[in-house]
Amino acid sequence: MVEKVLEAFKSLPPELIVFFISLLPILELRGGLVAAALLGVEWYIAFPICVIGNMLPMPIILLFIKQIFKFLRKVPGFRKMIPYLEEKAGQKGSLINKGRFIGLFSFVAIPLPGTGAWMGALAATLLDIRMKRSFPIIFLGVITAGVIMLLVAYALPDLCAQLFGFSF
């Protein structure tokens, strides 16, 4: 089955693969830009694709995640996962809550494991930060993370090749 999934992805254009990766939690824009660099997609094409892919789920999370969690608590396979996600978001939320909007921006913008737009949106929702305030901050954080990841995925390999004679 995995082979069939991989084969299906191989037939897709690289830009579409990058878009799908950017949609996913955990990988998000960060994984999308690294994949874009590895797939040979030019940075100026990859960047907007990754931003759009990463931001597309945000309104759904910001508006409906509490209702989705309420529903999923009734589904046997999700009963234990929802409290875990809420606890993780609550832990992240304490970091965000200290500076509120600067905290949310920093949390989304700094590309570290466990941070990003998905977890930032979840934490913002659980902290009752309204969408009209949280969405633009998350968007700015995604743009900032994107610039950082552009440097890591596109500029750093070129710099290493020029300075040290090897590439990734």
**Reported confidence tier of residue 137, pLDDT bands at 50, 70, 90:** very high
The residue-averaged pLDDT of 66-86 equals 88
Q: What is the pTM of this model?
A: 0.85
Q: Tell me the pLDDT of the chain averaged across its residues.
A: 88
- Residue 148 is part of which domain span? 2-164
Residue range 75-96: average pLDDT?
80
Among candidates 166, 168, 89, which has minimal Cα distance to 126?
89
Residues 121-131 have a mean pLDDT of 89
Task: Work out how many domains the chain is built from and give that number.
Answer: 1
